[in-house]
Chain A
């Protein structure tokens, strides 16, 4: 340092050459500073700074080693365009009803295309569908990305690849496929081209968080937990097969059927033909292919008498042994209520049920009264819109002013239109001990169902309803449905359709409600035919007992073994098998 001072001393002689040097030194070190100590401190500072830097580098290296490398994983999936994977949908036995497969889609980056004319010519040669579209304009545009064709086949992909057109590429997109095609159409619903559910359970899935997952881009993983439905594909197929046959045989406009577990409210099968193939969703737009069980409302006809009689029995004002005058048509104002199978005598309650007497049912309803009738039907969920997992639902058509005449007609199933699924829910509550449980398409245990359910009628009333249903199969209008071995009970229903504001005698809606086995109900089957035609072998009749009834019998014979129902033969008749079980309750009721 003294040396430097010496130099500074000498420099005084040569001011002109070195004045700027002195100036710099004065600026940097000051005039009276111990530069030796200062240099040491600086050295220490430098060492500290460098060791900190190296420590940071070292720590970062350790972090890199510990944390998994993320860009490698990303590289392998970047050929998948959009994260729209959906969970598989399974039936209750694990059969796949809907699943995802990857299909290539063709896109172009027009900015990178050299000769749009040549490219469009080559592509049209390989994929003829592209001809006639504005392919050339799209390729000639200056956009960065255009879809050319979604979902091309593997063969087409190979051919386009061989063309080697620059600026054209493929992206793998997940495509929803329905391997069971039309079998489950109305339950499953379908998706649009962007893999968003637009009907049925698929839409329900989107409403339950899947859509958010898609928007956030997290749905790319295939390992989403599959959804298990309550549906049994084997039963569904059997019902559908028989309904298609029945629809053809009776030349009906439509046929529909439901099988439901009365102990849990699970829907085991639901078919409405004509249906559609969810792989080709355009078919679903045809209005004749709607799901008549949830989106249609119908006057259910005599099956509603089950509700009427149950109401009478449950109110205590009517007993099984009560009698009602059906000797002549019931006159109300200018209307006459007739019986289809007129007996022209005094009928007991079981006779009203088995002969399906309109007069008798109307008189039972009048005994309870208008307000009681309304309150009972509301309690059984027949007056409000029934909502299930399916987004499609229909509001029942309830008379705006409900007078005595309405009560009379509604007692035998005219004048109140409900969704068939809704009436199934009501009748299920009549036979399962009085528990009204909302129907579901998802799996549910008996405990869960009971927790959700509401006691709507007394267990004794339910017992008597089971007796009446069985009696009807033993010696009433449902005798053609008595499939041997399954102790079936049931109720026919025939409603006249309204044409131009009048009830038509020829355009009918027939339905059949069957419960099996009647002594310990497990399943309820509803079959409905829209405008079945009379045939020579039905002796010119088109009422339920001749078409919907036999169709139900065929369905039951096919599905009962699938549902695990054990056939029992030589069971005693209904009064012993069902009524003797609770003698006290029934004695009180009689």
Chain B
């Protein structure tokens, strides 16, 4: 009886030791993974911060204004260009037949009074 008990206890001891070893090993592996991920997150975080700082520098209004003046023909907004929504005129009736599947195609087909876009731009210049 005692001998059997001893055997069982020894077996349990060996098994639990093996189990503890396994858990310990797993937890070490996981802890290392956590540390690695943390370091990676931190690196990414820093990289994001650096990129954001760079973007914000590029987004500097002084720089945008210089670029706009060089490349675009935009002008500052004038108070006359702002109006209330209520004062917008009624929306014009669509040019094509009301039940056309593709209204834009219908406009292009039906409407030849307007010159093509290119020539109108030249005319404007």
Return chain A residues, CB-CB under 8 Å to B49. Answer: 99-102, 222
- Asked whether any CB of chain B lies closer than 8 Å to the CB of A150, the reply is no
Query: A237-B62, A483-B79 given as contacts; is B38 within 8 A of A99 (CB)?
Result: no
- Asked whether any CB of chain B lies closer than 8 Å to the CB of A566, the reply is yes
Q: CA A561 – CA B39 in complex, angstroms?
A: 46
Smallest Cβ distance from A358 to chain B, in angstroms? 35
Query: Which A residues from 59 to 110 make CB contacts under 8 A with B?
Result: 69, 72-73, 75-77, 95-96, 99-102
Query: Which B residues from 23 to 58 make CB contacts under 8 A with A?
Result: 31-32, 34-35, 38-39, 42, 45-46, 49-50, 52-57
Cβ B79 vs Cβ A484 within 8 A: yes
Number of interface residues of B (CB under 8 A): 29
Query: A73-B35, A76-B38, A483-B79 given as contacts; is B53 within 8 A of A237 (CB)?
Result: no
Query: Which A residues from 135 to 175 make CB contacts under 8 A with B?
Result: 172
Cβ B79 vs Cβ A567 within 8 A: yes
- Asked whether any CB of chain B lies closer than 8 Å to the CB of A177, the reply is yes
Cβ A181 vs Cβ B80 within 8 A: no
Return chain B residues, CB-CB under 8 Å to A179. Answer: 53-57, 59-60
- Binary interface profile of A, 233-261, with partner B (CB < 8 Å = 1, else 0)? 11001001100000000000000000000
Whose C-beta in chain B lies nearest to the C-beta of A484? B79
Return chain A residues, CB-CB under 8 Å to B32. Answer: 72
Whose C-beta in chain B lies nearest to the C-beta of A65? B27
Q: CA A180 – CA B82 in complex, angstroms?
A: 29
Whose C-beta in chain A lies nearest to the C-beta of B31? A72
- Classify the interface of chain B: helix, strand, loop or mixed: helix
- Asked whether any CB of chain B lies closer than 8 Å to the CB of A329, the reply is no
Smallest Cβ distance from A107 to chain B, in angstroms? 19
12 A-B interface contacts by CB (under 8 A): A76-B42, A95-B59, A99-B49, A99-B56, A101-B46, A179-B53, A180-B61, A182-B62, A237-B61, A484-B79, A566-B84, A567-B82
Q: Known contacts A72-B38, A179-B55; can you find 13 more A-B pairs with CB under 8 A?
A: A73-B35, A76-B38, A96-B53, A99-B53, A179-B57, A179-B59, A180-B56, A180-B60, A484-B79, A486-B79, A557-B76, A557-B79, A561-B79
Chain B interface residues (CB < 8 Å from chain A): 31-32, 34-35, 38-39, 42, 45-46, 49-50, 52-57, 59-62, 65, 76-80, 82, 84
